[in-house]
Amino acid sequence: MQFTAPQGVFELIRLPLRSNELLQPFDAADEYLLAHLAEQGLPQPDSRVLIMNDSFGTLAVALSDRRPAALSDSFLSRQATQINLERNGKAQDAVRLLHSFETLPEAYDLVLIKVPKTLGLLEHQLISLRGHLQPDAQIVLAGMVKTLPASVWQTVERLLGPTTTSLARKKAKLIFAKEIPFENPPPNPYPVRYRLEHTDFWISNHANVFSRDSLDIGTRFFLEHLPSGLGPSGIVDLGCGNGVVGLIAAQRNPEAMVHFVDESYMAVASAQENFEAAFGTERKASFQVGDGLKAFEAESADLILCNPPFHQQYLQGDQIAVSLFRDAKRVLRQNGELWVIGNRHLHYHVELDRLFGGHRVVAANPKFVIFRTRKKR
């Protein structure tokens, strides 16, 4: 899809890839931010630039001539940035890609932040900027007006200092900030922990983990119906989040090898910390940040458990779920099963019937339904 900005015209894709994609890999906030930079003559040739939460590499590609660093908690974001650099004839090393647990390598003159959906992630990132800003560093946050509640301004001012804002343009807005040194800066509150109900497990959750403060009602319902007594099998917690589903599956199936997979670095780190806290190092498991099950061998799992995300940042849809279901069919062994939980209105059973030829309902309540389907061919 073509994207035009003052910095040039670029061909961009979004992930996961779909034929006849109608969703754009950029938004009006990207356009506004790049236009503002061009109007201000930024970044200057010798500026050290950091980009945060650039979902598909739009900002990184447009500013690649300034050799920015790009930090994201998303494996898909990293992958999309690499693809989009290549599509536009840019060298892979034109952008230094960083994930959530990498230390920022230098102090920056210009920091560009796409406001993430998770306020806790923004809080963590702003705290992580301490010590990595030049004295006169400029910080610009960008987002759509509907995704910029007062809590965003309050968080920025609490952690950095006073802000100013732009006028809205095409329903997008920019927030401008500069760091004011604090005598007693707030500590980083992440990860947070809670005790998993009806167990002795303490669950650690990094800033970008879904429902990090307590067990969400969908996962609670899923846990009530997880299978047990599977023997020496291979179980995958697909889209694992903090790993609670795989953790309980491991407890109920002590001979199983459990694999935790998510595209969020913070999610997989949380899952690993929680599993090792529960079972120590003697119980083996694997932990992988990746694009679904793309890195898994075909016919290598007996059971896949999945609570698919139905939001990609602020957009709702089933594109991620459908991609995960296709991965699951390839990775399941003959007669292996995929168990999926979802809100009733998402109608996952339609896609499961198309891919697997049928489904069964394990359990349902007024809000959620758990589907079970088997690989027959």
Q: Where are the domains of the chain?
A: 2-177, 192-374
Pick the CATH number of 2-177 from 3.40.50.720, 3.40.50.150, 3.30.420.40, 3.40.50.300: 3.40.50.150
Which pTM was predicted? 0.94
Q: What is the mean pLDDT of residues 22-30?
A: 92
pLDDT one-digit tens code per residue, 205-254: 999 998 888 899 999 999 999 999 999 999 999 999 999 999 999 999 99
> What is the reported pLDDT for 312?
44
Q: What is the mean pLDDT of residues 22-32?
A: 93
Class of domain 192-374: alpha beta
> What is the reported pLDDT for 309?
80
Return the percentage of the chain with pLDDT > 90, whole number.
Answer: 86
> What is the reported pLDDT for 318?
67
pLDDT at 48 over 60: yes
> What is the reported pLDDT for 23?
86
DSSP 8-state symbol, 21: -
pLDDT one-digit tens code per residue, 175-191: 999 988 877 888 999 99
Beta strands in the chain (DSSP E): 2-5, 8-11, 49-52, 69-72, 96-99, 108-114, 133-144, 163-165, 172-177, 192-195, 202-205, 234-238, 257-262, 285-289, 301-306, 311-312, 315-316, 332-343, 360-364, 368-374
Of the two residues 252 and 314, the one the predictor is more confident about is: 252
CATH topology match: 2-177 vs 192-374 = yes
pLDDT at 282 over 60: yes
Nearest CA-CA partner of 4 in 49, 61, 52:
61
Q: How many CA atoms lie within 13 A of 182 on its CB side?
A: 15
Residue 345: partners with Cβ closer than 8 Å, 6 or more residues away: none
Q: What is the mean pLDDT of residues 338-345?
A: 93
Angle at 73 (CA atoms; ends 72, 78), nearest 5 degrees: 55
pLDDT at 319 over 90: no
Instruction: Look at the chain and count its residues.
Output: 377
Q: What is the mean pLDDT of residues 63-67?
A: 97
